[in-house]
Structure 1
Amino acid sequence: MRHPYLSPAAPRVLAHRGLVTADAASHGVVENSFAAVAEAHAAGAAYVESDCHVSADGTVVLFHDDDLRRVAGDPRQIADVRLHELEELMADRGGLITLAQALEAFPELRFNLDVKAAAAADGVGRLVAPHAERVLVTSFSDDRRLEALAAARAAGAAQRPATSPGQATVVRLLAARALRRAGRVGALLDGLDALQVPERQGPLRIVTRGLVRDAHAHGVEVHVWTVNADDDMERLLDLGIDGLVTDRADAALRKVNTRGTPAV
């Protein structure tokens, strides 16, 4: 049965770390900020992809990097900075957004959450439990992903959040396909809702028509990151993929809508 996170039908546009337009960037707005999420929502995006870390005092916050160097010019690790300090640092960069705030302030949005820090897994699971129908949990680490899903169940989630596999599972899936082990492919896709992958990893092409076909045969969508060029969007949509994870959600929404199938 299709998870409610994936309803209505594809194609989907997932705003990668929110949306930072050129104008917003000129005013200091950065990715994964309150303003970036709000901008994605205002542009019509139904999905926002973000990343979860935890502050020194245990609050799950939306940040991609382990530290603040790239976003705020501060070398400290996020895990070493208290919430009020993060709020001060982000005040003129679009505003800090915690996971709790994101879920509460944007009840119409669906969130694709990458658990970046092991310490964040339990908190992510507990926070998303009441919102499981509009959350997908993923991580490069299957252990972190599964810990977050278990925490959501323990916190009373009526159903598990949607989920996409970690890096090790993707590698095993690609190997099983290369060896034509159909049963193994099916077993690896079982229990997944989406397969979220880059189009290529170095010289290795990951997203092929065959991969899309196999995923669809098992009820699993294929979402590709991070797709910013118009030509790449067109080509991947022609290939049959279900979701574009993009820094240009506004442009991707226009692209999908001009193809005659409204984006979600």
Structure 2
Amino acid sequence: MIAHRGLTLPDDTHAENTLASVASALSAGAVYVESDCRVTRDGVVVLFHDDTVERVTGDPRPVADLTLRELDALMEDRGGLLTLATALDGFPEARWNLDVKAAAAAEGVGRLVAPHAERVLVASFSDERRLAALAASADAGAEIRPATSAGRGAITRMLAATSVGSARLARRALDGIDALQVPERSGRIRVLSDRLIRLAHDAGAEVHVWTVNDIERMRELVARGVDGIVTDRADLALDALG
């Protein structure tokens, strides 16, 4: 069970991707936490999903236009801002699934996760950002490569391999990939299939599905062989499936 941006219940006053949401997820029993990485105007990598802070704070400015001090003040009564450095050092028991949301964050993410590589998976829809973060981690002296998941290009190639049932093409698409993280559907396109799960496993990659909040659906996915489920309700999932 991968806690999507931590754990924020409907009645909670704290926002996603905050100190409070991560603490809540871990308190519920989660081990794996999914979060998103952006960078402030003064170059600090922070956990924040959106390009702007408007949805969370009402302020329309982009994260990249705010200093750490300004962003910290905006998030003070919304659960507390988490920098990536604080998240990694402050929650040493957590395993992190980190989505590099901005190109400017890739180098900082890689450098910061280098000492924690054994408990980090680097993700991004952009294979370029993902690979840049992995390269920065290696340059920073990481003893092992962090785990990594497929970006949009690799996922597209995997879907093509699945459509023709080619194990050879699947292995090529997932070369260097530890996890295939996908939704069940993307618009009218069915992404997850039993064939995709089988080919991914044969290629040595796990399959993680996002974002699933229905307990019965989670049980069905686990029964089909899915390895990880990204969920907003880690509390319910851990209670039902733990």
Asked if TM exceeds 0.5, the reply is yes
Taking structure 2 as the reference length, the TM-score comes to: 0.98
1-side partners of 2:142 and 2:217: how far apart?
A: 37
- One-letter code of the match for 1:155? A
* 1:20 counterpart = 2:5: no
Please report how far the alpha carbon of residue 255 of structure 1 lies from its aligned counterpart in structure 2 after TM superposition.
1.8
The residue aligned with 1:130 is 115
Q: How much does 1:184 deviate? A: 1.4
Question: Counterpart of 1:157?
Answer: 142
Query: Which of 161, 180, 184 is the matching residue for 2:169?
Result: 184
Counterpart Cα distance in 2 of 1:134 and 1:144: 19
Distance in structure 2 (CA, Å) of the matches to 1:187 and 1:205? 21
In structure 1, distance between residues paired with 2:212 and 2:28: 17
CA drift at 1:210:
1.1
Partner of 2:51: 66
| 1:227 pairs with 2:215 | no
Task: Quote the residue 2:101 is aligned against.
Answer: 116
| Structure with higher RCO (Cα < 8 A, 6+ apart) | 1
Moved over 3 A (4+): none
Identity of aligned residues (%): 61
2:240 partner amino acid:
K
Deviations 1:113-154 (A, max 9, x none): 000000000000000000000000010000000000000000
For residue 195 of structure 2, what is the aligned residue in structure 1?
A: 210
TM-score after normalising by structure 1: 0.90
| 90, 109, 123: which one aligns with 1:105 | 90
The Cα of 1:61 is off from its aligned counterpart by 0.2
Question: What residue number does 1:253 align with?
Answer: 238
Q: How far is the alpha carbon of 1:178 from its aligned partner?
A: 1.0
Q: Deviations over 1:152-180 (max 9, x none)?
A: 00000000000001011101110122133
Match of 1:9 in 2: none
1:244 pairs with 2:212 = no
Give the RMSD, CA atoms, in angstroms.
0.9
User: Do residues 41 (structure 1) and 41 (structure 2) align?
Assistant: no
Gaps of 5+ in 1: 1-12, 258-264
Deviation at 1:182, TM superposition (A): 2.4
Match of 1:147 among 132, 154, 158: 132
Superposition deviation, residue 195 in structure 1: 0.5
Give the SS at the match of 1:67: coil
Which letter does structure 2 place at the counterpart of 1:145? R
Cα pair 2:97 2:122 within 8 Å, conserved: yes
